Structure 1
């Protein structure tokens, strides 16, 4: 799903805004969570790609693990976010 937002995010490279995002709902047993892949743009125009996971809508730090079938689903979701897809193809 594409999210259009003007929220700002703190990164090690300074503040950035969210340009495009895909949320990939996942489940492991009874646990439900989402992997978030997000295209960010800094105030200076640099583009960043952030991978995170969420259990309650807030991005969490830590490793992000995708099963092969989840990667396939992510590719389909990226069809809706051309700028994020392009950033990942480079």
Structure 2
């Protein structure tokens, strides 16, 4: 059975931080010489009309956008450091 190691997959994807599904599909198709067809089911589609009518969702989206602009979001290494600091503060009795 043919397989890809994590290192091979990283090499093929050129260490991208953000992947589209199409990137992964392309690697699989090229490596295994197959054709992949992905069909979205109706349940996984976003109902934009319903979202646009929901004021709470709109509020959350706006808050998330504001958080990104104000650099109040954490991902990857930055998120890990934030959580480690919070744990350290908690263990030292610092008010969170």
TM > 0.5 fold call: no
- The structure carrying a bigger helix percent of its residues is 2
Q: From the CA coordinates, give the structure whose radius of gyration is larger.
A: 2
What TM-score comes out, normalization by structure 1 length?
A: 0.20
- The structure carrying a bigger strand percent of its residues is 1
Greater RCO structure (CA 8 Å; 6+ sep): 1
What TM-score comes out, normalization by structure 2 length?
A: 0.19
